[in-house]
A and B are shown apart, each in its own frame.
Chain A
Amino acid sequence: MKIGLFTLVFCYCIAGGIVSAADRTPQELDAALQQVKRDMLGLDEKIRLLTGGGNQAGLETVSVYVSVDEELSFRLEKIRLKLDGKTVSEPAFHRTQWQALKQGGAANIHSGILMQGKHRLEAVFIGTGKDGKRAEYREQWSLTQSPGRHSMVELRLGNATFSQAPSINMQVVD
């Protein structure tokens, strides 16, 4: 059994401790992938022109973003966004998306036309609280759209001082 012990310890120690692999990715494959990416970006521009893109010329539009404080203890899993009572978006935040939010990213959860006038914006934040229990928090705001404007609205979640529920702030970014 001494043989076995030697083999086990040595092999594992080295294999687990040190990375070892040469950069042998085929250059050809890499070049092909880069070319495809470029072509896709070119196509993206064409399609934006063809479909009018996200900016509807002459029309009032809105983009809604969500972001979180780095230390937020509420684990956001899903948002249900309603404009004037109608659900317009229901994005989920899996591990990757959640990490991106925690690292300071702002997720665009809705972009679309929003006519001039007063509107009601409502968001339901669904996720897991600090205590590990499922929780839902609902908030709604009034939003006034000016003529010809592209409104950018940011919903930001942070820890509340005296409550388990997160603080939810809405800001129209000018």
Chain B
Amino acid sequence: MNGRRWLLCLVIALVIAGFPLPSAALSEQRADLLNRELLYYQSTGDGFSAISRYRAGLASGEIRAGQEKWATLAARLYASWGLFNEANELYASPALFQTPEQRALNRFLLGKAYFERQHYAEAVAAFEKSGLHPLSKELEYQRLLLMGVALYQLDNFAASSSALWSIQPTSRQYPFARINIGMGSIRIGSWPGGISGLSSIKKRIGIDVEADPQFADRLNTVFGYLLLYEEYAGSKIAYGKVSMHGFTTPKKKGYKDAQEMLQAVSSDGLYANKALLGQAWIAIDTNELEQAREILEKLANKEPHHLVVQEAKLALPYVLERAGDASRAINQYRSVVGFFDNERNRLDALLQQLNSSELDTALLTMRTGSVARNPLTAYLPGMLLAPLWERLLGDFEDINHLRLRLDEWKKQLAGASSTGSGVSRQSVMSDLSRQQVALDDLYRRTVQLLRKQAGEQLTERRSRISHYLNQARYGLAELYGRQQHGGVDAREAFLAYHAYLKEAPEVSAEVRKHIIGRIADLEMELGEEAAEIAPAAKVSGVTAYLAELEKSPQEASNEDALYKLARAYEQQGETAKALDALQKLIRNYPNSTYIAEARFRVAEGLFIEQNYQQAATTYDGILNSKQNNAYYYHALYKRGWSLFKLGRYQPALDDFFAVLEHYDSATDAKEKANQELYADVQRAINMCFVNMKGPASVSEFFARNKHHQYIETVYQSLANYYLAQERFSDAVQTWSIYVQNYPNSQDAPRHLLGIIDTWKQQRFDKNLVAAQERLINEYGLHTRFWASHKLEQFDDVRAALKQNTRLLAEHYHIQARATGKQNDYLQAAGWYRQYLKNYPDERDVAQLNYLYAEILEEAGQYRDAIAEYLAVVKKYPQFVRRADAGYAAVLLTFQRTESGPVQEREQWRKQSYETALNFARLFPGDGRASDVLLHLIEERYRRTDYLKAIALAQQVVNQGNMQQKQKALLIIGHSQFETGKYPSAEQTYRTLLQTGRVAKNDRREINKRMALSIYRQGEAVKKAGNISVAVEHFLRVRKEVPASSIVATAEYDAAAGLILMENWPAVIDVMERFREEQPGHKLQHEVTRKLALAYLSSDQPARAAQEFERLAVVESDAEKRSAALWKAAGLYDNSRNLEQAAKLFSQYVKEYPAPFDVAMEARQKLVALYRKMGDDKQRDYWRKQIIDVDKKAPVSNERSRYLAMTAALEMAEAKYRDYRAVQLFIPLKKSLRNKKKLLKQAIDAYALVAGYSDAATITRAGYQIGEIYYDFSKVLMKSERPRGLNEEELEQYDILLEEQAFPFEEKALEFYRSNRIRITDGLYDEWIRKSLDRLAEIFPARYSRPEKQDAYIESLQ
């Protein structure tokens, strides 16, 4: 890639700076811009657009044809796009082919174009032609370099070297030339030459390639690796020949120099990882394993598809293994086996996909896309380095560009017409179709080629990964057995070896033999499993060893093969063949290290074949051998078994006990393998005794033999044996005999435990209880056994004693509950008591104490039960059921208080009080505490101890739940009420009601009491004289408790208070409300009274009248009723409700005729009312009534008479006015008759008045009668004369009238005179005076003189 970039820069430099200025068509700036536009297209790989734009410029005249600058540019564009013929034509055109130098340059440029598109043969040809003419020195070196590289690519290393050697050391191209020379040498196998060439560059790196660090990195990496390889391979030849470089001295500084070079590689460049891997290998080979590990771990975590990273992954476990870290090495090997297996599968999948089109897009973006993101390209970075790939990918891109362009044209042409262009749209469309076919064909062929190349690359990587995979498997298998825990197991190693042999490329015979040996060993170890794991395995241990024996029958190493063969046969179950092999081994190699084992195995073979007698004899042989062999005790053990099989138990037991003694005396006797054997020997001993007489024979055996140290073991083992056989009674009998024989043995109680466990497991409850009781009775803490034993050495026994004591207590507890027998209760209580006494510090003692209390309670021992419950509370503050215990004590005391013997109840009551209070104090958070308190509270309340009840209830309010709180509040309220604390009671009741959800009955009572509380407050205040506050309380009753029955009373009392305060509007409000809300209340009439008063007092006579009218009905007392009626009538009169007033007075007269005077006054009122109302008829009716009643009254009085007389006078006056109103007119007869009639009526009326003989009215009546007569006489005289009378007739008529009038005048004179006469009676008033005046008027001479008056009268006046 460096070369390409460098060439591109060169070309750009040439294009931009190396040409003269344009002259005509295009300005300099425009030309520059166009130039850069073309460059842009070219740089983006869009050669088509570049050339198209150029040709368009030519067509439009922007670019003048034949100009050197543009021709050069065009040639380059054509060349870089792969149109070399067109480029060549331009380079050969006159504009560019004028001088030899120009021609040389053209060919050089053409060569470069060929080179860039990897047409190396054409490139070489062009460069060779270019070399025919002189070029500038640096261009010449470039030519040589490019030609050298092209020849290198064509594998013509000699010619390449020749060209490259022509470059002088002073040239900038020299380093590039030398490295290619060096590489070429290596390619042809000339390592010394390669190193020589490269080393010369190494010296120059600092000078010539400093501007290209990537190149330096590459050089250092390659060089470092070469040195590494040389050092690793121990190639002394190379160093010897290449002594000129300083690092190849006989002291072998190769690693050091390689290290330096690799360390010089920059850590972020392309070669960083390669350099690191090289350093890791150097560290490995120089045993700097820690350093190697660090480098490899860093590398192993990088991009996993990178070859270097994959190598590092494989190398890391190798380093770990060498460093002794087998555990991590194993894990790492496993990890990389998995990784490489996955990667191989992934590559297989990719290879499959290559045949489809799925990866074509990936191929297309390989040159431009991100390698890491592309699954295909992740494995193909090497492809990009290959020239063919580069060229193919470039072509592929071009083809795709053209296809896109074709699509654009099709769209463009859809709306185009041929008008005026001279080009047929149809023909263009046809051309497009042809092009499409051609392009598609090219596309397909290129893709096929790409796929083929990619396939080759991927196959190569697959092969490499397979190799890594097998290396990892081999490494893993070799680590088998290296780690105790978590290491490689036999299966894994077996599989890994098999996989390795199956997949790995050819391996050396030595390695192959090693692997076969390992597989055979593992086969034996795995047994039948091996065939299951690898059924198709071609390599078998047995066949492999037979092959070895056949290959060289006389070899000393066959001793080993024979031994393994025998084992292999044994493994396969071919015992006879195995024995045969062993016999051969014994025969042919009597001094073999395997000889003892061989003999033992022969005996074992006989045993397996059930030839016990011969086996016993063979074992005898081993045992009798003087040789101190490792199989002695195994043989002894197996002889014991052989004798057992032959029914010879006694000698068998001797052998078995001898084996036991041997292993017990050996320091490593308890190793795992021997432990199994040891157990088997015990089993054999057990079987011997079982086949004899069971536990009885044990006693007999030890009575006769030694081995007393095994007495306990044998009993225990035998018991266990019986247990395993489910012969429980035999097992129990074995233990029991032991306990009986050795009661003071430290194992005796433990054997009893065995008995207990057995009965427990078998659920023989009766036996179990007996055994438990036996244990405690014989080995309880109180027994003599402990006088000779230390309890602290018997933790298990102590625990069992404790547990069984508890179990016994529980057993009898349950039994007591079932049977109800007092004895069982007492038994249970006794065990509990014993437990509490012996194990006071145990964790469950609190629970046991609680149960103890319960059993006492159940047994009816209440006092003790309460004491124990309280003891639980006191002694075990952490006990979870402590509150339960406290509560149980409380309940029990309550219960005793209610149902205990009468004489004890008071005492119980006191105790219950204390117990309950204590409970509430100790367990305030317990829900039952409040219940307990409530119980006490109710009891206090019942006993009218209200203050105490309140104090306790307050506690419940503070801590109880809602229901409890309500109960407490209720009692507080009631208590406060009962003690006259009405404000507090009211408040408490209110609080209670606010808590909600109060029971209906309670609510009713609460309301009642609350109302009463308020009312009582009013009463108290009223009593103290504070009426207004009292009224407020009374009024609150209705407001707070509207449904209370006391509301009416309170309201009434409030009204009464308000009356006292003369707050009439308020009184009216309250009473009106009362009337409405308490319609049937007995105080309703009082309300009416008060309302009447209030209305009266507040000057509302009409409303007051209504109230009095009501009273006139409802008052029970007639006097009150009449008075109310009178008052009502009067108030109506005052309020101008005349009709109602008249109605009520009339009612009054009717209902209350007596007393007479009042009734008369009522009549008088009626006269007045009707007068006011203008109802003359009614008025006169009542006047008449007055006159009549007075007249008829048995006993009249002055007032009555006055009223009657006044009525009569008024009536007379009325009659008089009626009389006067009538005029006389012609015909006189008719009017005269009417007038006369009225005259008579008026005179009668006055006569009536006169009848009352009242001095004041009698003169008036006399005068008025006189006046009537006198008037009549004058009216007659002045009456209208009939028309038509002559004078005489008129005179006659007048005379006749005088005659008629005269009597009337006389009558008048009579009455006037009678008044005059009354003067003599001492009367003189207005009417007498008027009468005298009238007499004087009629008889002036006679009466027209002043009355004689006494002088003193004058003087008095």
Q: How far is the CB of A26 from chain B (nearest CB, A)?
A: 8
> Do B222 and A12 touch (CB < 8 A)?
no
Which of the candidate stretches B388-396, B780-788, B1160-1168 sits at the interface with the other chain? B388-396
Residues of A within 8 A of B467 (CB): 7
List CB contacts (< 8 Å) of A43-80 with chain B.
43-55, 65, 67
Residues of B within 8 A of A132 (CB): none
> Do B29 and A10 touch (CB < 8 A)?
no
Contact A23:B118 (CB < 8 A) given known A32-B442, A40-B402, A54-B56: yes
Contact A105:B52 (CB < 8 A) given known A5-B232, A9-B281: no
Chain A minimum-CB-distance residue to B419: A50
> Do A49 and B423 touch (CB < 8 A)?
yes
> Do B442 and A37 touch (CB < 8 A)?
no
> Do A41 and B119 touch (CB < 8 A)?
no
Residues of B within 8 A of A117 (CB): none
Docked CA distance A106–B44 (Å): 11
List CB contacts (< 8 Å) of B38-86 with chain A.
39-45, 48, 51-52, 55-56, 59-60, 81-86
Q: How far is the CB of B407 from chain A (nearest CB, A)?
A: 13
> Do A41 and B30 touch (CB < 8 A)?
no
Contact A44:B55 (CB < 8 A) given known A14-B186, A25-B392, A29-B446: yes
Docked CA distance A19–B390 (Å): 12
> Do A16 and B40 touch (CB < 8 A)?
no
List CB contacts (< 8 Å) of A120-164 with chain B.
152, 154
In the complex, whether B432 has a CB less than 8 A from a CB of chain A is yes
Docked CA distance A36–B40 (Å): 23
From B154, B183, B233, B423, A50 is in contact (CB under 8 Å) with: B423
Residues of A within 8 A of B434 (CB): 39
> Do B40 and A106 touch (CB < 8 A)?
yes
Residues of B within 8 A of A43 (CB): 409, 428, 431-432, 435
Q: How far is the CB of B155 from chain A (nearest CB, A)?
A: 6
> Do B229 and A9 touch (CB < 8 A)?
yes
Docked CA distance A94–B370 (Å): 12
In the complex, whether B416 has a CB less than 8 A from a CB of chain A is yes
In the complex, whether B301 has a CB less than 8 A from a CB of chain A is no
From B85, B412, B435, A40 is in contact (CB under 8 Å) with: B435
> Do B398 and A33 touch (CB < 8 A)?
yes
Docked CA distance A173–B475 (Å): 72
Residues of B within 8 A of A10 (CB): 229
Contact A65:B425 (CB < 8 A) given known A17-B221, A18-B186: no
Chain B minimum-CB-distance residue to A105: B40
Contact with B along A100-117 (1 / 0, CB 8 A): 110111111000000000
Contact A45:B442 (CB < 8 A) given known A5-B232, A51-B416, A67-B36: no
> Do B232 and A104 touch (CB < 8 A)?
no
In the complex, whether B226 has a CB less than 8 A from a CB of chain A is yes
> Do B153 and A49 touch (CB < 8 A)?
no
Contact A4:B29 (CB < 8 A) given known A13-B226, A51-B413: no
> Do A173 and B284 touch (CB < 8 A)?
no
Contact A5:B281 (CB < 8 A) given known A22-B154, A47-B413, A51-B413: yes
> Do A29 and B449 touch (CB < 8 A)?
yes
Docked CA distance A101–B42 (Å): 11
> Do A21 and B226 touch (CB < 8 A)?
no
Residues of A within 8 A of B1261 (CB): none
In the complex, whether B1045 has a CB less than 8 A from a CB of chain A is no
> Do A50 and B425 touch (CB < 8 A)?
yes
From B41, B153, B438, B449, A32 is in contact (CB under 8 Å) with: B438
Contact with A along B516-537 (1 / 0, CB 8 A): 0000000000000000000000
Which of the candidate stretches B306-314, B341-349, B957-965, B1323-1331 sits at the interface with the other chain? B306-314
Contact A104:B39 (CB < 8 A) given known A12-B307, A18-B183, A43-B435: yes
Chain A minimum-CB-distance residue to B441: A32
> Do A105 and B314 touch (CB < 8 A)?
no
* Total B residues in contact with A, Cβ cutoff 8 Å: 102
Chain B minimum-CB-distance residue to A15: B382
Residues of A within 8 A of B232 (CB): 5-6, 9
Docked CA distance A123–B1173 (Å): 111
List CB contacts (< 8 Å) of B429-475 with chain A.
431-432, 434-435, 438-439, 441-442, 445-446, 449, 464, 467, 471, 475
Chain A interface residue number, banded = 35 or more
Residues of B within 8 A of A17 (CB): 183, 218, 221-222, 225
> Do B387 and A23 touch (CB < 8 A)?
yes
In the complex, whether B793 has a CB less than 8 A from a CB of chain A is no
> Do B387 and A107 touch (CB < 8 A)?
no
Residues of A within 8 A of B12 (CB): 103-104
From B29, B56, B118, B475, A1 is in contact (CB under 8 Å) with: B475
In the complex, whether A99 has a CB less than 8 A from a CB of chain B is yes
Residues of A within 8 A of B432 (CB): 43
Chain B minimum-CB-distance residue to A48: B56
In the complex, whether A38 has a CB less than 8 A from a CB of chain B is yes
From B52, B120, B274, B442, A33 is in contact (CB under 8 Å) with: B442
Contact A13:B59 (CB < 8 A) given known A18-B187, A43-B435: no
> Do A36 and B186 touch (CB < 8 A)?
no
Docked CA distance A23–B391 (Å): 9
Residues of A within 8 A of B418 (CB): 50
In the complex, whether B422 has a CB less than 8 A from a CB of chain A is yes
Chain B minimum-CB-distance residue to A106: B36
In the complex, whether B421 has a CB less than 8 A from a CB of chain A is yes
In the complex, whether B216 has a CB less than 8 A from a CB of chain A is no
Q: How far is the CB of B315 from chain A (nearest CB, A)?
A: 7
In the complex, whether A86 has a CB less than 8 A from a CB of chain B is no
Residues of A within 8 A of B27 (CB): 173-174
Q: How far is the CB of A165 from chain B (nearest CB, A)?
A: 24
Contact A51:B412 (CB < 8 A) given known A12-B311, A100-B39: yes
Contact A46:B431 (CB < 8 A) given known A9-B225, A53-B56: yes
Chain B minimum-CB-distance residue to A39: B435
> Do A19 and B387 touch (CB < 8 A)?
yes
Chain B minimum-CB-distance residue to A4: B471
In the complex, whether B10 has a CB less than 8 A from a CB of chain A is no
> Do A100 and B43 touch (CB < 8 A)?
yes
List CB contacts (< 8 Å) of B1071-1095 with chain A.
none
Docked CA distance A26–B285 (Å): 47
In the complex, whether B1187 has a CB less than 8 A from a CB of chain A is no
Contact A152:B82 (CB < 8 A) given known A11-B464, A23-B121: no
Q: How far is the CB of B305 from chain A (nearest CB, A)?
A: 14
In the complex, whether B386 has a CB less than 8 A from a CB of chain A is yes
In the complex, whether B241 has a CB less than 8 A from a CB of chain A is no
> Do B402 and A37 touch (CB < 8 A)?
yes
In the complex, whether B554 has a CB less than 8 A from a CB of chain A is no
In the complex, whether B37 has a CB less than 8 A from a CB of chain A is yes
From A9, A29, A101, A105, B442 is in contact (CB under 8 Å) with: A29
Residues of A within 8 A of B225 (CB): 9, 12-13, 17
In the complex, whether B1126 has a CB less than 8 A from a CB of chain A is no
Smallest CB-CB A-B distances: 8 pairs: A105-B40, A100-B43, A106-B36, A13-B225, A17-B222, A21-B386, A105-B39, A4-B471
Interface on B for A, CB 8 Å cutoff?
A: 8-9, 12, 16, 27, 29-30, 33, 36-37, 39-45, 48, 51-52, 55-56, 59-60, 81-86, 118-121, 153-155, 183, 186-187, 218, 221-222, 225-226, 228-229, 232-233, 274, 277-278, 281, 284-285, 307-308, 311, 314-315, 318, 368, 382, 385-389, 391-392, 395, 398-399, 402, 405-406, 409, 412-413, 416, 418, 421-423, 425, 427-428, 431-432, 434-435, 438-439, 441-442, 445-446, 449, 464, 467, 471, 475
5 sampled A-B residue pairs with Cβ under 8 A = A8-B315, A103-B8, A103-B12, A103-B39, A106-B33
Interface on A for B, CB 8 Å cutoff?
A: 1, 4-26, 29-30, 32-55, 65, 67, 94-97, 99-101, 103-108, 152, 154, 173-174
**Additional 20 contacts, C-beta under 8 A, given A19-B153, A108-B40:** A6-B232, A12-B311, A14-B186, A18-B186, A20-B155, A22-B155, A30-B119, A32-B445, A33-B82, A33-B395, A34-B82, A37-B48, A40-B48, A41-B52, A43-B428, A43-B431, A43-B435, A49-B421, A53-B60, A173-B33
